[in-house]
A and B are shown apart, each in its own frame.
Chain A
Amino acid sequence: MKAAVIVFPGSNCDRDVAVALQASMGAKPLMVWHRDTQLPDLDLIVVPGGFSYGDYLRCGAMAAHSPIMREVKAKADQGTRVLGICNGFQILTETGLLPGVLMRNKDLKFICKDVHLRVESDQTDFCRQYQAGQTVRFPIAHAEGNYFADPETFKAMEGNGQIAFRYCSSLGEVTDGANPNGSLSNVAGVYNARHNVLGLMPHPERLAEDLLGGSDGKAMFDSLVEALS
């Protein structure tokens, strides 16, 4: 698998996801600077977490207009897999690669903690090593992760299997109490209609090694390697 990680000024999870990718694919991903305009032939593009452009204006809004994102969009349209984590998810919604928006958390605070997620589908390149309905533990670290889409869009997304993860209790129950940020229908991550683009607020790369407290995130990178190698 050939992978690239896009680096914006203010990205700060670029190294973390590169480490997790390398552990699964055995080689370092290509690090691509935001001012670049061309990408080589790739199987996977990762838009990492952080505070691109300081989150000024609106999270992800400025990064969405950077030179490299035009190329990312073109590649995604051709079917290249794109993974956006946290700020990367915000950038992908701002770019229009993913439906919906990410608003301020319902209690208006930044939240950093482990959450449980229900894997909604195992039929994608990102999740083939999980099982649908499985409960996994990933950390979140964001102030703007409150997902929203208009009812019509959301209904279509649900019908098309575009909900990737939902916040749930440790027992797998999707409840209001398990929703950390007020997201519509506990949504933590979504796919585009073709299922080649995934955005999620939780950080799989942060729990991809037992020493750091768990490794539920590793299966996502392993899935991609299995699917794309």
Chain B
Amino acid sequence: MSQITPEIIPSHGIKPDEYAKILEILGREPNLTELGIFSVMWSEHCSYKSSKKWLKTLPTKAPWVICGPGENAGIIDIGDGDAIVFKMESHNHPSFIEPYQGAATGVGGILRDVFTMGARPIANMNALRFGDPSHPKTRHLVAGVVAGIGGYGNCVGVPTVGGETNFHSSYNGNILVNAMTVGLARKDNIFYSAAAGVGNPVVYFGSKTGRDGIHGATMASAEFDEKSEEKRPTVQVGDPFTEKLLIEACLELMATDAIVAIQDMGAAGLTSSSFEMASKGGLGIEMDLDAVPMREEGMTAYEIMLSESQERMLMVLKPGREAEAKAIMDKWELDFAVVGTLTDSGRMVLKRHGAVVADLPIDPLALASPEYDRPWVAPAKRAVIDAKEVKAVCPAEALKTLVACPDLASRRWIYQQYDHMVMGDTVLRPGGDAAVVRIHGTTKAVAITTDVTPRYVLADAYEGGRQAVAEAYRNLSAVGALPMAITDNLNFGNPEKPEIMGQIVEAIRGMGQACRELDFPVVSGNVSLYNETQGTAIQPTPAVGGVGLLEDVTKSVSVPFREEGSNIVLIGETKGWLGASLYLREICGSEEGAPPPVALHRERRAGELVRQLIGDGMVLACHDVSDGGLLVAVAEMSMASAKHLGAQLDAPSSLPLHAWCFGEDQGRYVLEVSDGDLASVLEEAQEHDTAVRVIGKTGGHVISVGGRAVRVDELFAANEAWLPAFMGAEMSGH
């Protein structure tokens, strides 16, 4: 009798046309195990079926790119035989349902993607979006996600060095938890996932398989409704201690030459890891599920294949190396089992209790899985807002409001719960433009940032996509690092709606253009769609994780003003763009208007100029101008300085004061420059054909502009107070 009833097919998220295709591929009805395998492999989460067509348009190559998208993570060459391996990945749906475990296992998953390739993880980052602070769930979700990220990363002993957090009502029903890991490998010791060598053993190691997380990938590929809470059993449970052992065991095994191919078990667990390895190698696998280490008795083939139990790996070993590999796993007290053999059949044959329980062709489920060209409509363009039409408020008052608003308030409450110093190489800690982590034992360093401004992407997906990449480029340049490559994490709503698909298409087009013009290729990424609840979509959020290189870490600069009486220099053009700005939203209560345009050629020139000035030692402090505009950037430099050094600014008369102070024009940096270096800085700017203007002096303990002033202490207190007050925690000094 058929196991497949009409109810079972849609409950696996399989559409009628997809089921027809399954029948055509198999020439028969699938059994339940096989249907389960199709459902996870063809889920949006695993197959990228809605986005693949557009992702292919992104630039992925450069002379320094060792490995682009398609592997567990991207890899770039940083010279001297060293390589940086990195990727960002979402764990949105599970984190909303069970914030601690959802976020924790998100960190665990992305760590595995990186050490699977032979890299020791050296830094974690995260990009978080929560609902409106007034929403009843927001506080609980922030507390759980932050504790989960810390709980996992702190125990594993990888520093969490930075990230970003936003609040907006569009995330009320769908928070975003995007985690990024950066790892360090030797260029000549990188591991890939393509299986090779018919007859070679397929080996499982790590934790045992349990019944947790079954169908996580399918859950992550559907909209939420009022019953989403019932999906809690599909959220996995993490064990960072085992992950730490797994890292050490993997790296120890990787120091031998026993491994042919290796892949972590992430979404869709044993199914996706085995199918992907076989598909990339053009081979088949015969697997005996009885050999899989199991946490509980009586698990079915369906459950074993769809379990998303954490901290598990699959690898192909060279023949005869099993004992050597097992000895290392024994040392680290991890499970080890030979579960299968590579075949030349191109099929996945699964046995349980001696009988064949699934027999599927591999390619149609993996590399040749469905690809859709979904209908899309370009989002409507918004009107440009004239700054003169926007209400002018006293700049000192507006500044006080802005630095205390949820999107600009200090994130100290968050990053103090993350160990950001373990491993002893964190040179620039959280709170700056980019984190800087030294390459252990050298004078080189990587700079890391995560960026996107979702309100810009909502206002204009193309410009917003360009801006996300440009801001990452800017944040890396602001610490003196050469931007090398990005990873992206594309978070959108339901792609079956043409207007959402339009956001995806346009944002990717914008990102691609920015990447090309800035020589800043995409080397890895992740897509998270269906971030909708009861028909309401999130703001489109294509998060960008950027990585840059500092050849000499001692030359990096950071945000805090350092000296009294030095010059405050603004790089880049200011037109006073207030459309889609924080000033408009927080002071005027409007989210209208076109976002600021990005001029990529100017962006590039400004970045080159700033990096050169920093490299030449002419910059005391540097900060990019982003959310909140120029006055917020200057205030952040004052608040970050230990002595709370103030700034006296001269606004030009050519612009309305509020537009000059709070316009979010792109491509700008604020530099602190000593008198002795000022002439050279101005000259260099001219040579780079980049707008430059001395806008004031550091000194005193107030920020003054246009005849108004506000104490830095007062701003600092307001900036620090919001998040702890919101979370109901006390301030604990320092």
Contacts and interface: CB of A to CB of B under 8 A. Distances in A.
A112 B427 contact: no
A205 interface: yes
Given A54-B240, A114-B734, A10 B155 contact: yes
B332 interface: yes
Interface in B216-267: 239-242, 244-245
A61 to B, nearest CB: 14
Given A55-B155, A177-B733, A205 B417 contact: no
Contact of B421 (A19, A50, A53, A139): A139
A211 to B, nearest CB: 6
Contacts, number: 101
Interface string B328-349: 0000110000000000000000
Given A10-B241, A15-B424, A114-B734, A141 B419 contact: yes
B78 to A, nearest CB: 19
Contact of A54 (B239, B416, B422, B426): B239
Contacts of B730: 107
B157 A206 contact: no
Given A107-B732, A110-B150, A180-B732, A54 B417 contact: no
Given A141-B421, A211-B438, A54 B729 contact: no
Name which of B429, B554, B730 has the most chain A CB atoms within 10 A of its CB. B429
Nearest to A209: B424
Contact of A110 (B156, B417, B427): B417
A112 B418 contact: yes
A51 B421 contact: no
B729 A9 contact: no
Contacts of A223: none
Contact of A16 (B422, B553, B734): B422
B423 interface: yes
A209 B416 CA distance: 21
Given A141-B419, A203-B421, A211 B155 contact: no
A141 B154 contact: yes
A51 B419 CA distance: 12
A149 B151 CA distance: 27
Contacts of B241: 9-10, 51, 53-56
B420 interface: yes
Contacts of B419: 110, 112, 141
B439 to A, nearest CB: 13
Name which of A10, A16, A177 has the most chain B CB atoms within 10 A of its CB. A10
Interface string A64-86: 00000000000000000000000
Q: Would you call the interface of chain A mostly helix, strand, loop, or mixed? A: mixed
Contacts of B427: 211-212
Nearest to B239: A54
Name which of B239, B425, B732 has the most chain A CB atoms within 10 A of its CB. B732
Contacts of B554: 211
B246 to A, nearest CB: 11
A44 interface: no
Contacts of B147: 109-110
Contact of B417 (A10, A49, A55, A111): A111
Given A10-B244, A107-B730, A19 B155 contact: no
B424 A110 contact: no
A135 B475 CA distance: 35
Contacts of B422: 12-13, 16, 49, 141, 206
Interface in A190-229: 203, 205-206, 209, 211-213
A200 B299 CA distance: 47
Interface string A111-154: 11111100000000000000000000001010100000000000
Given A141-B154, A212-B427, A9 B416 contact: no
A16 B155 contact: no
A178 interface: yes
Q: Would you call the interface of chain B mostly helix, strand, loop, or mixed? A: loop
B332 A9 contact: yes
Contacts of A109: 147, 416-417, 729
Contacts of A55: 155, 241
Contacts of B242: 54
Given A9-B244, A111-B416, A178 B733 contact: yes
B155 A107 contact: no
Contacts of A111: 416-417, 732
Given A54-B240, A205-B424, A12 B157 contact: yes
B159 to A, nearest CB: 9
A21 to B, nearest CB: 12
Contacts of B332: 9
Contacts of B245: 9-10
A54 B104 CA distance: 14
A169 B427 CA distance: 24
Contacts of A114: 734
A15 B421 contact: no
Name which of A15, A56, A112, A211 has the most chain B CB atoms within 10 A of its CB. A112
Interface in B406-444: 415-427, 429, 438
Contacts of A113: 416, 734
Nearest to A180: B732
Contacts of B424: 15-16, 19-20, 205-206, 209, 212
A213 B155 contact: no
Interface in B75-94: none
Contacts of B239: 54
A208 B239 CA distance: 32
Given A16-B422, A19-B424, A51-B244, 5 more contacts: A54-B242, A55-B241, A109-B147, A139-B421, A141-B422
Give me the 4 closest cross-chain CB pairs, A-B, nearest first.
A12-B157, A54-B241, A16-B424, A51-B155
Interface of B: 147, 150-151, 154-157, 239-242, 244-245, 332-333, 415-427, 429, 438, 553-554, 729-730, 732-734
5 contacts: A9-B333, A10-B244, A170-B734, A180-B733, A211-B553
